[in-house]
Amino acid sequence: MPANGEFSSRRRQFLRTFGLAIAGLPVAERILASPEAPLPQLPLPRRAVRIRGSVRIDGKGKKGIGVSDGQTIVTTASDGRYELLSDTSSPFVFLSLPAGAEIPVSPRGSAAAFRPVMPDANGEMNASWELKSLPVSDERHAFFLLADPQTLDMDDIALFQSTTVPDVRASAAALSGVPAFGVGCGDLMFDKLELFPEYERGIAQTGVPFFQVLGNHDVDAFAKVDELSTATFLRLFGPTYYSFNRGAVHYVVLDDIMWLGDGYIGYLTQRQLDWLGADLALVEGGRPVVVFMHIPSYNTQHLRTGGKRPERSLVVANRDLLMQLLAPYQAHIVVGHMHETEHLYTANTHIHVCGAVCGAWWSGPICGDGTPNGYGIYEVRGEEVRWRYKGTGMPLDEQIRLYPRGTDPGNPGAILANIWDWDQGWTVTWYENGIRKGEMPHVRRTDPLSEKLHAGPKLPAKHTWVEPYVTDHMFQAVPESPEAAVVIEAKDRFGRVMTVKS
């Protein structure tokens, strides 16, 4: 998400006026005019490449593993061998890592199931993988979703490494041997790409391998077209879109940042959508599919603030095409970007907008909607996916912030509660002096702690452009007696009960 006042202002003006006077002007206009139309490809010099290789697990060839160059997908034969006809427009050849195999990692801690496309003089190359089986089944597994670490300087890096990293490491240890991985869900940086190595030093200390997602602050901002904006990310982390498998779940990482030279929109290129269609064709219908990307396919911030439509930088313009591809599956789209928490549901897809690791850009302990700085913990058993948001430095069962009477000057008798990971599957009940009063009324408003820390032109001191967010996960009740003891009981969709008392 935008993270300084000047850039945010320029971005808003850019999107309002469609001032797209850049090298990619025709492409940008075409996207904005018709986001579902196929996008013309940038002409690139291409040379044919024949890639041969094999995939073996514990020394034995493995059949049916997807191997791709980001355009074409082939599967391995019974002896684990494959052949892929590619060209030099594809920077990598990569695996759809099979379930049950250990995740290959670079020395820096990032997942690395890819090889650079580097043909010899005859236009041929070999790319083979020797994988190892996990010591235990991954039918039960977990992952940590770290959205928006967004470090600007070494002070931010120090906070990330001293608070987030040990917290994730402790959460991983609490899984007691359950296979786990992490996902850096974009905006790993705050434009200062030279700090990527410091981010990786942090994740390497968590003890789990990390997959990386491209965010809008992770691009080379001097690039004039989208195709050139990912050079640094590609060099450090490999492809910007790919897939892998754990247990019964198929995971996909997508790049939904369309860089326009002086700003960005949420958009999935045609090449990427074509690849995704081929990738999902190998996945049995009805299975869980989890998609990681940075910008939400959709969110409701514009509705909460009185807008008619979302900004192009806050949603994916051609999201309908993605939803069509995901329709046959139990789909979860897991994103960051917004520095707030929200859950949205369609017939078959759940959009998880995850709170930020950095909160309000490392300016304090919370995001703009009152969600604590933190990360998501997802646990999978077979085809069941469960989740919970973990506030950094907080107990895992701390999911509610209660505000006493007098907090709201406009309604001084009201008790307020922020239940940041709330979704439509929760029930929130309140009691007065032990008497059940029913469901606690839902209210759309800002979080009082965010108002205290963020409201006004001088707060917060580190980034004065931060302001409180209107959110849909606030609740309000007015007891009959000013002296009443009030208890709030919240039960999530998985039956976990959390209780707080006034």
What average pLDDT does range 236-246 have in this prediction? 98
Q: Is pLDDT of 23 > 90?
A: no
Least confident of 3-7, 160-164, 283-287, 346-350: 3-7
Q: Which amino acid makes up residue 32? A: L
Q: In what side-by-side order are the strands of the sheet with 401-403?
A: 401-403, 415-418, 470-477, 442-446
The pLDDT-based confidence of 24 (bands split at 50, 70, 90) is very low
What average pLDDT does range 365-374 have in this prediction? 98
What average pLDDT does range 161-172 have in this prediction? 98
Supply φ then ψ for residue 233, to 5 degrees. Answer: -60, -45
Give the count of beta carbons closer than 10 Å to the beta carbon of residue 501: 9
What average pLDDT does range 356-379 have in this prediction? 98
- Tens digit of each residue's pLDDT (9 = 90 or more) over 169-198: 999 999 999 999 999 999 999 999 999 999
The percent of residues above 90 in pLDDT, for the chain, comes to 89
The pLDDT-based confidence of 21 (bands split at 50, 70, 90) is very low
Rounded CA-CA distance 405/197 in Å is 47
Average pLDDT of the residues of the chain: 93
Q: What is the pLDDT of residue 116?
A: 97
Rounded CA-CA distance 203/112 in Å is 14
**Residues 368-401: b if buried by 16+ CB within 10 A, e if exposed:** bbbbbbbbbbbbbeeeebebebbbbeeeeeebbb
Rounded CA-CA distance 18/313 in Å is 12
Q: What is the pLDDT of residue 357?
A: 98
The pLDDT-based confidence of 31 (bands split at 50, 70, 90) is low
Q: What is the pLDDT of residue 5?
A: 42
**Number of C-alpha atoms within 13 angstroms, CB side, residue 226?**
27
The pLDDT-based confidence of 14 (bands split at 50, 70, 90) is very low
Q: What is the pLDDT of residue 32?
A: 62
Domains of the chain: 5-37+138-391 (3.60.21.10), 401-501 (2.60.40)
What average pLDDT does range 475-499 have in this prediction? 96
Model pTM score: 0.92
- Tens digit of each residue's pLDDT (9 = 90 or more) over 417-470: 999 999 999 999 999 999 999 999 999 999 999 999 999 999 999 999 999 999
Q: What is the pLDDT of residue 502?
A: 87
Q: Is pLDDT of 224 > 60?
A: yes
Return all residues near 153 (Cβ < 8 A) that are at least 6 apart.
192, 195
Q: What is the pLDDT of residue 20?
A: 32
Q: Which amino acid makes up residue 308? A: K
**Tokens describing residue 322:** 């993605």
Q: Is pLDDT of 366 > 70?
A: yes
What average pLDDT does range 39-61 have in this prediction? 84
Q: Is pLDDT of 34 > 50?
A: yes
**Number of C-alpha atoms within 13 angstroms, CB side, residue 9?**
5
Q: What is the pLDDT of residue 129?
A: 98
Q: Is pLDDT of 412 > 80?
A: yes
CA terminus-to-terminus distance, the chain: 35
The pLDDT-based confidence of 347 (bands split at 50, 70, 90) is confident
Q: What is the pLDDT of residue 458?
A: 96
